[in-house]
Amino acid sequence: MEELIIAGKKYKSRLILGTGKYKDFKQTADAIHKAEVDIVTVAVRRVNITNTKEPMLVDFLDPKKITYLPNTAGCFNSEEALRTLRLARDAGGWNLVKLEVLADKETLYPNMLETLVALKVLKKEKFEVMVYCSDDPLLCKQLEDLGAAAIMPLGSLIGSGQGIQNKLNISIIKKNAKVPVIVDAGIGCASDASIAMELGCDGVLINTAVAEAKDPILMAEAMKFAVVAGRKSFLAGRMLKKNIANPSSPVNGLIS
């Protein structure tokens, strides 16, 4: 499959996995490896000072082999998000980050006004920013104009598993965009991931659908295939929909 290019860097996989909500770091790493992803999202949090011997994510997933995409999950204004990403850049030493400024705890819907403010500052500070956003085509265009490295509209609410609720908007966003469009949030099962890819999206970002599956490792593998299948289906170009039947077998030479 052709490679996904984000901020000038090539990635083989079009699937990005989150690393939250797994039973433990071993399961996280097993799922990530099974899905053969190149990018994982990570959060930035305080070290537990009372037990600094407890295992760390970096001991299970090597940031030299897999791209860590630090997020700003849990930030409700641009200041918190900026502080988090500056720390993340220092901890990791790379510029590619995921900006996610939330509006409220009930919906975890993106606060687009604060997101735009933060994006402007991050661009000035030479970050490459993948932006979690609403599925509003105009706002998505604005993000691109401000220099977003990728646009990441929600399919449905974070962690809801409700799939892609507004396919039309997602396709408009994709049609307008010159940077990659990655559906972030809402994917519930493999077919949802395929639908995102069939809409022409460049990738999908999934966490809960894998981490909360009965068998996360198997679901990770399913998502890998779903993304590949959806992408190939998109590239192949679907048949035209018809309102009447059209036999697949020749009508000539029937025994009668």
Partner 1 sequence: MIQIQLNGKPYKIDEKMSVSDLLSKLSLTEKKVAVEINEEILPRENYNKKILSVKDKVEIVHFIGGG
Range 72-101, binding partner 1 (CB under 8 A): 73, 83, 86-88, 90-92
DSSP-derived pairing of the beta strands 203-206 and 182-184: parallel
**7, 9, 11, 25: which one contacts partner 1 (CB under 8 A)?**
25
68 binds partner 1 (CB under 8 A): yes
- Is residue 159 part of the contact set for partner 1 (CB under 8 A)? yes
The Cα–Cα gap between 99 and 69 comes to 10
Active site residue 175: no
- Write out the binding residues for partner 1, residues 203-242 only, by CB under 8 A: 205, 207-208
Using CB atoms within 10 A of its CB, is residue 5 exposed (0-12), middle (13-18) or buried (19+)?
Answer: middle
* Cβ nearer to partner 1, comparing 49 with 244: 49
Q: How many whole angstroms separate alpha carbon 171 and alpha carbon 201?
A: 8
Does the protein bind partner 1 through residue 127 (CB under 8 A)?
no
Of the candidate spans 51-59, 195-203, 218-226, 246-254, the one that interacts with partner 1 by CB under 8 A turns out to be 51-59
CA distance 114 to 98: 14
13 contacts partner 1 (rule: CB under 8 A): no
CA-only gyration radius of the chain, Å: 20
Of residues 189, 188, 202, the one with CA closest to residue 235: 202
Give yes or no for residue 43 binding partner 1 (CB under 8 A). Answer: yes
Residue with tokens 């994709």: 174
Tokens (6 digits) for 55: 């295992």
Q: Which residues are catalytic?
A: 98
Binding site for partner 1 (CB under 8 A): 18-22, 25, 28, 41-47, 49, 52-53, 56-58, 63, 68, 70-71, 73, 83, 86-88, 90-92, 158-159, 205, 207-208
